[in-house]
Structure 1
Amino acid sequence: MHILIIEPGSTGHHLIYLEKIAKGYLASGHNITLCTLASTHENPLIKSLALSFKSRINLTYIPDRAYQEALKSKFSDIGREIKLRRIFKAAYKKTHSSCAVDYVFLPFLDYCLYSIGLLGSPFGKTKWGGICMRPSFHYQASGVIAPKPKLSRIKELLFKKCLSSASLDKIFTIDEILEKYITNTSHKPPIKIKYIPDPAELIGEHTFKSARSRLGIIESAIVILVYGALNERKGIQALIEALNNSTQLDDVHLLLVGKQSEKINNYIHAHASQLKTKERLYTLDRFVNTDEQQMVFAASDIVWLGYQEHFTMSGVLVLAAISGKPIIGTREGLIGWYVNEKKLGVCIDTQKPSEIQLAVQLITSEINNNSDLYKNQHFNDHNWEEFSRTLSFTKNN
């Protein structure tokens, strides 16, 4: 079969998902066309795929300018989605005209999810599927602390209309409560939605001692890890303020791993001098490789997820859970829901330094009394093997 995969995103999880999905279809004997941004063709990951599967993979592209113009739509979310749907339709027609497409897959369906519900599939009668990650119309009804999104009722209706598309194979979601909500509120079987655990991996051989030694962190320290793209919404300012203003947290050190925004970098230089002077601050101000990722989690005791205005799923939450590290997280969004529901740590109000301090003290006490307290089974299926099994790459044979 000929599978068309459309993914214009080129950062973060977008390329990781694209690689795993492409390899899954290739391993199942399918031929694929990858439709990405023209600039993404030079990415080492894409070049490696093209080189490894020469005769079975074709590369086509979405013009970067057209994609960027769609993102800047003057008509808010729905205007952007309609433009992206139009771009995806053109990509499909171009590919289909040269070699018949049997199936279309969107690793990030959120590009045009609601516009498909409004206008129908852009892929004609060809079967299609995809993964959605951002719907939030169900949050409040499911016990998630979050603001009610604009047009939430309309978005819910469009989502369900999308699910009723005759050519739809299945919509996968990394949000388990979305699947439950749709199943409980829909009355027209079959319901073409399936939960797929958000996959994450920690690959490496670092132990606690070797990781601490490599990073220059003393073994007796309690280390809080902040991991990922370090911007203002990660709540780093609140965490530094809490550590600066407590004499009871002198043994707590801070490990910041990930590329820092200019504002965060300036804040650290201006406000974290006390931590630096006492050698309680460690930074890797860059993207890290797979081995380094495993190393920093091995070196840490607590993972910080005190994010602000972040309501969707978090890959760092999954990494913390599979490594058995307790989380200090926001009460809001899926982070708050998971931390409470799965007992992954402590939720706090990120605007209150005293709550942050108490949470650190509580978890430190728990770690000292029971190092295995946060090792749980809830995230055993959050791996690429289970991801591939759930997607079932051979289902279209």
Structure 2
Amino acid sequence: MKPRALVIEPDFSGHRWRYVQWAVEALIEAGYECVVATDASNCKHALIEAYQAGRADVHVLWHREDQRRPSIANRLLGLAKEDFSFYARFAWVYREVTRSEPVDIVVVPFGDYILNAVAFLGSPFGKSPWFCVVMRQTFHHREMGVNVPARPLVDYAKKQLFSWALRRGNLSAVLTIDPTLPGWHANTSLAKHSPAVLYLADPFPEGGTVGRDEARERLGIGTERMILVYGAITDRKGVKELVNACMTRDMPLVIVIAGKQNDDIRAFLKALGSRSKERVVVFDHFISSEMEADLFCACDAVWVGYKGHYGMSAVLVQAYRYGKAVLASPFGLIGWFAKQDRLGPVLDDLSIPAINAAIDEVFALDREYEPARESDGRKLLAGHTVSNFKKTVRSALTIAGPDVKTIPTPI
């Protein structure tokens, strides 16, 4: 009988479904059969439909917030903080899946859902080994030279919660898309008495490349200069600021906004005047891998001037892979990579003059732009491949110990 893995991810928006896909692929390659637990709202998602159409080694468990019957204590915790609500939900999923037979490993592709609650309550998965991916831990950034706002009390509290979670959570490993977190962890006393913290390359799927003109023809885009905004489109992407700045420019320029939008951005774009709409092309839907490749091949630059985002960006990785300059926020890991690797103009702020100055700079570079060749960041970005992602997942399985069954993957 094959070993059994439980993968829990309620939200398939943005890049999160990719983490489920690649984690499941790594587990299957290691000899596992998988149970993917997700919210019933994802039933029409392409990945879920693919699993249900023909994968005997992947089973899907639907869950809704109103399905579980949490205890009174868990209901009170859920009211106190969202983390505890997710904790109770994940614990319910685990009990449902293990009611018939146990699981050998639990994988949480977005561990930030529950890590704060784990700090207080321990693991929601009983004695089963588990590991997770964290994406939003920023308490260590100032210590590691990353430009983020000073928040000493918040950072101290979050550092303590992270440390408690590592000690009390029965975790086998923590994977992080932040290259500075493993370094911080290794230099603390925590490293001797806690699970491993491993760097997980935040990749984009391997996509083919086509000529710029061919990609634009398929997308229905003309010859104007093009800036791409890609991913889960919310106000934090800085979309409004970019559009408002571009409306003041005389030169022909088109902004392509690709990815599912929230209601706020949808309303903002709908309210644009006719002249503005001519400069904005919108693809408000799920983006296939083929279309994704066309978008990056077609664009002249990629927008990563995000607001309040201090973590890693898979869009930044994709821009690097396709040799596209970025217009980057100065903060967090986006600014950290952009500055040390000269990936494109770094915005002073999101004012109209600052954005237009960055656009002038990136278009003056034209296609002669090249990133720094030998920097540590560049080496990291070059390793952001799906194969390295899966390799790290398999390493976490090995770290989980002899009770977790692994089958060597053929080379």
**Amino acid corresponding to residue 116 of structure 2 in structure 1:** Y
State the alpha-carbon separation in 1 of the partners of residues 260 and 58 from structure 2.
Answer: 33
One-letter amino acid of the counterpart of residue 174, structure 2 = I
Match of 2:243 among 234, 237, 240: 240
Q: In structure 2, what is the equivalent of residue 198 of structure 1?
A: 202
SS of the residue corresponding to residue 99 of structure 2 reads helix
Offset at residue 186 of structure 1 (A): 3.1
Q: Report the counterpart of residue 359 of structure 2 in structure 1.
A: 360
Deviations 1:210-267 (A, max 9, x none): 1133344444x332112223333322222233223244xx143322223444543454
Structure 2 counterpart of 1:384, from 378, 383, 386: 386
Provide the C-alpha distance between the structure 2 equivalents of 1:76 and 1:273, rounded to a whole number of angstroms: 46
Equivalent residue for 1:155, pick from 149, 158, 170: 158
SS at match of 2:187: helix
2:401 paired residue number: none
- Gapped runs of 5+ residues in structure 1? none
The residue type equivalent to 2:148 in the other structure is: I
Specify whether residues 124 and 282 from structure 1 end up closer, same or farther in structure 2 by C-alpha distance, changes over 3 A only: closer
User: Does the 8 Å contact 2:78/2:85 carry over to 1?
Assistant: no
C-alpha distance 139-244 of structure 1, shift in aligned 2 (>3 A): same
Tell me which residue corresponds to 1:84: 86
Partner of residue 123, structure 2: 121
CA contact (8 A) 2:206 2:386 kept: no
What TM-score, normalized by structure 2, do the two folds share? Answer: 0.83
1:190, distance to aligned residue in structure 2 (A): 5.5
CA change 1:34–1:180 in 2 (3 A) is same
Q: Distance in 2 between matches of 1:15 and 1:254?
A: 26
Residues in 2 aligned to 1:391 and 1:362: alpha-carbon distance in whole angstroms: 40
Pairing of 1:190-229 with structure 2 (within 5 A): 191=194, 192-201=196-205, 203-219=207-223, 221-229=224-232
Q: 1:330 to 1:373 in 2, by over 3 A?
A: closer
Q: CA deviation at 1:385?
A: 0.8
Shift in alpha-carbon separation, 1:26–1:161, aligned structure 2, 3 A = same
Decide whether aligned partners of structure 1 residues 228 and 42 sit closer, same or farther in structure 2, where only a CA change above 3 A counts: closer
The answer for the alignment partner of 1:65 in structure 2 is: 66
Deviation, structure 1 residue 92: 2.1
Pick one of 108, 126, 130 that aligns with 2:110: 108
Task: Provide closer, same or farther for how the CA distance between residues 151 and 66 of structure 1 changes in structure 2, counting only shifts above 3 A.
Answer: farther
User: What's the offset of the Cα at 1:86?
Assistant: 2.5
Residues 146 and 333, structure 1, Cα contact 8 Å, conserved in 2: no
Asked if the contact 2:122/2:170 (under 8 Å) is kept, the reply is: no
Q: Deviations over 1:79-133 (max 9, x none)?
A: 2222322232232233333112222111111111011122211222221111111
1:76 is displaced (CA, Å) by 8.5
Q: When the two structures are superposed, what TM-score results if normalisation uses the length of structure 1? A: 0.86
2:408 aligned partner: none
Alpha-carbon displacement from aligned partner over 1:296-341 (angstroms, at most 9, x marks no partner): 1111111112222222222222211211111112222322222123
Where does structure 2 lack aligned partners over 5 or more consecutive residues? Answer: 399-403, 406-411
CA deviations on 1:173-215 (whole Å, 9 max, x unpaired) are 1111122222223344155110101111252442112113334
CA RMSD of aligned residues (A): 3.1
CA distance in 2, matches of 1:3, 1:81: 23
SS at match of 1:339: helix
Partner in structure 1 of residue 20 of structure 2: 18
